[in-house]
Structure 1
């Protein structure tokens, strides 16, 4: 199995020689954290502070911290743990160190002793399905097996049944047993960090992390041999109840917290050996206002999209892998009318809708754990048409389900989805080519294509931006060409957004204005509505401090109730 390798020398004797007033020399906020979590203080005693300097403590990291020249900081994560972003001496990739009660307290030899005693309780432990009940039983058993009292000298039978530990070792044991028996083992701290996007093991070596703020970092979790990776992959498959074997070496599944996991087992199909990737479930989605804060789009684009979705127009968010398509799709879901009935169809649950009338459907693959047959997106999409939804959201359109999606558009159902392509031209090529084969005359049922990409800014930093918002107008059979209008586009030189569709938008003037009952001679007034909404969003964000996804949705609901939008 994996083990932890710190990026500095670990010497227990050195830590014990650190003077007693060490804590008093720490900055106040870090000292308070150490008072609450003594294992954090023990960890800091090991850190070569003379070399890297004193880490800064942040109760909650902010996106602005991604601009720091040197990363040396500590922040808390869930369940009382901490993370140290440790600077790399070579400048290649900074280290991600989960600070646990067992980081500098060795309990490996004690864990094996406790495991031996737990065997006698395996049936009782296995019978418990409730996670909290299992946690409580395991903690009771550890406390029963272990004692912090001094070992008696008479060598009694009763004394031999106990495991003698220090208070620090007992805390470490209680944590380790819960982490490995209830949690996801060495990966558990990574799942408890809300700032992690992806966890990736490529085989032998370190586990790598994509962090929302600090980007690509190297964790201290290491596999030293192929056998260790294979063993962990098998254990991981059993833990998620999707076993991997030589005959079934590929597994896609969902963790209890909603995170997606992919496991590839063995060296026959992966030259570097077993590997796995976890795409973290983000919990509460990022709101449109937060995306504006990050620079992904601006208030005018948000206002424009709010009008489009409010009136039920069809939209695809288009881009490459990890470009932020689903993040943007979730964010703009708040613009749909609050009384709408929404049906979402996905392979893996990632789309989040704040509406109460939400039907969430997920595909089912063939497998031993499924008594029925396979149910794909194509079947679910056909079934959704019978549920009278106002909006159908497909997590990702890949193949033949696009045919049903376009049929839904033609029958008046609003459709949204993500799609893999890097431009409007490539989107249309994929839709009209093999194997999807959407008739070219149907393409204008898709009103909007929002192109989202990961880009490199002038300062060298990577960011996600809406490259363009495109209105698809129609197909000319004579010239066999498609016409579309670029309503918005990103300017890479200034990192700002331009509005070439201003006073020239087909959808605003010929669709939205008509739907809103604006007479022909006043249709240009629709642009005033876009600007008004943009000002409202900006005021909510900058003056009222609104950022949260659910709070923003509730404000929009109330505004619509009062006919303010």
Structure 2
């Protein structure tokens, strides 16, 4: 019954909150009602049972909640019956893209600009620990996946997720996924994010990517950073201050003195644009500088920010960064007195990305191959 909306590449989310109409999230038109509906509880129950059996995770009155992945990679959440949902069974499907959104697609959407991407490419190329943070449906995972293109092509990467969403373009990529207490086959012990992250540290990766940090695995991630493993992750917080507050509080409990092992916080948000439409924007890119135990405060520099009044991006960190001018320029062999030459590299890379865009090279995998080739030739490294 829902195959037409499953097949539509422009539909991102499909949700059914009980008997009645399906609701859709469309890439262009936003929230819509579908011309498809379930007319009775029996019809809806039969549908969710059939859907859950198709993915080998049958729902029952005893186990009424299922989080799983459809054969095409889409995420599905099912709640069965009236015991736990007063309007009866419901489900949500988050569609999966065969080809992920690239950084140049994000330019087309107006989510970010070339200079911001150039800056991120330099920082990720130098193994800076980076969190993409924002609220639900802000585009965190989409942005994280897109910028994974900037991790050096020869890196060994281990990704750890609750449900498999990331599509990292690198050849040497190990993909690890949490397992519930029964596993998909109905047997075996639970394998948590915490377990997978500890295992990843023994695999000597160049980069660890964590789908989303929610609990105790956050403290392990900071230990990994402390021991020299580059980490990327998404996190649920709308500002840098809230991210630090949540990181240092229960249940994550990262010691405050460890927080500056995190180098960059990218804040992503769903916003109302000046023309009244909805969009997703990179609100800011921030360098975490230091923790001051005397004042119990954290210093950070806002390098880029979105201006909501005219939907443009500003570069307040131009000639005023700490990590870019200090750590990164030093690693790249630029003498301290000339450290501001690093800004020329941002301009150069922004121009390369712009030219690739003009030539139509924006497919996620094609762009990744092109940037890897440019790095080998010394143009983008």
For the criterion TM > 0.5, the same-fold answer is yes
CA apart distance, 1:195: 1.5
CA apart distance, 1:202: 0.6
Task: State the match for 1:218 in structure 2.
Answer: 33
The separation in 2 between residues aligned to 1:343 and 1:188, in whole angstroms, is 34
Higher helix share: 1
The separation in 1 between residues aligned to 2:6 and 2:125, in whole angstroms, is 36
Task: State the match for 1:408 in structure 2.
Answer: 224
CA RMSD of aligned residues (A): 1.0
Task: State the match for 1:343 in structure 2.
Answer: 158
CA apart distance, 1:241: 1.4
Q: Which deviates further from its counterpart, 343-352 or 367-376?
A: 367-376
Task: State the match for 1:538 in structure 2.
Answer: 354
CA apart distance, 1:235: 1.8
- Given the two structures, how large is their TM-score scaled by the length of structure 1? 0.66
Task: State the match for 1:86 in structure 2.
Answer: none
Task: State the match for 2:79 in structure 1.
Answer: 264
SS of the residue 2:155 aligns to = coil
Task: State the match for 2:330 in structure 1.
Answer: 514
CA apart distance, 1:187: 2.2
The separation in 2 between residues aligned to 1:236 and 1:326, in whole angstroms, is 25
CA apart distance, 1:370: 3.2
Residue 320 in 1 paired to residue 138 in 2?
no
The separation in 2 between residues aligned to 1:564 and 1:370, in whole angstroms, is 51
Task: State the match for 1:493 in structure 2.
Answer: 309
Residue of 185, 195, 199 corresponding to 2:14 = 199
The separation in 1 between residues aligned to 2:260 and 2:245, in whole angstroms, is 14
- Aligned counterparts, 1:350-389, within 5 A: 350-367=165-182, 369-389=185-205
Task: State the match for 1:182 in structure 2.
Answer: none
Residue of 469, 473, 478 corresponding to 2:294 = 478
For the pair shown, the structure with the greater C-alpha radius of gyration is 1
Residue 455 in 1 paired to residue 271 in 2?
yes
SS of the residue 1:444 aligns to = helix
1:490-530 deviations in Å (ceiling 9; x for gaps): 00011000000000011111111011011111101001111
Residue 273 in 1 paired to residue 88 in 2?
yes
Residue 442 in 1 paired to residue 253 in 2?
no
Task: State the match for 2:65 in structure 1.
Answer: 250
Q: How many residues align?
A: 379
- Aligned counterparts, 1:38-53, within 5 A: none
Residue of 235, 239, 245 corresponding to 2:50 = 235
Task: State the match for 2:365 in structure 1.
Answer: 550
CA apart distance, 1:220: 1.6
Task: State the match for 1:418 in structure 2.
Answer: 234
SS of the residue 2:33 aligns to = strand
CA apart distance, 1:398: 0.4
SS of the residue 2:368 aligns to = helix
Q: Which runs of 5+ in 1 are unaligned?
A: 1-185
Residue 187 in 1 paired to residue 15 in 2?
no
Residue 502 in 1 paired to residue 343 in 2?
no
The separation in 2 between residues aligned to 1:477 and 1:370, in whole angstroms, is 49
SS of the residue 2:87 aligns to = coil
The separation in 2 between residues aligned to 1:387 and 1:289, in whole angstroms, is 32
The separation in 1 between residues aligned to 2:146 and 2:67, in whole angstroms, is 26
Higher strand share: 2
CA apart distance, 1:547: 1.4
SS of the residue 2:59 aligns to = coil
The separation in 1 between residues aligned to 2:217 and 2:272, in whole angstroms, is 33
- Aligned counterparts, 1:84-103, within 5 A: none
Residue of 107, 120, 124 corresponding to 1:292 = 107
CA apart distance, 1:232: 1.6
CA apart distance, 1:227: 2.3
The separation in 1 between residues aligned to 2:195 and 2:334, in whole angstroms, is 40
1:79-102 deviations in Å (ceiling 9; x for gaps): xxxxxxxxxxxxxxxxxxxxxxxx
1:374-415 deviations in Å (ceiling 9; x for gaps): 001100000000101000000110000001101110111100
The separation in 1 between residues aligned to 2:370 and 2:318, in whole angstroms, is 27
CA apart distance, 1:190: 2.2
SS of the residue 1:337 aligns to = coil
The separation in 2 between residues aligned to 1:523 and 1:223, in whole angstroms, is 63
The separation in 2 between residues aligned to 1:560 and 1:242, in whole angstroms, is 44
Q: Structure with the greater relative contact order (CA < 8 A, sep ≥ 6): 1 or 2?
A: 2
Q: Which runs of 5+ in 2 are unaligned?
A: none
1:240-269 deviations in Å (ceiling 9; x for gaps): 211111111101111111111100011121
1:135-177 deviations in Å (ceiling 9; x for gaps): xxxxxxxxxxxxxxxxxxxxxxxxxxxxxxxxxxxxxxxxxxx
SS of the residue 2:202 aligns to = helix
The separation in 2 between residues aligned to 1:284 and 1:252, in whole angstroms, is 23
Task: State the match for 1:392 in structure 2.
Answer: 208
The separation in 2 between residues aligned to 1:418 and 1:234, in whole angstroms, is 32
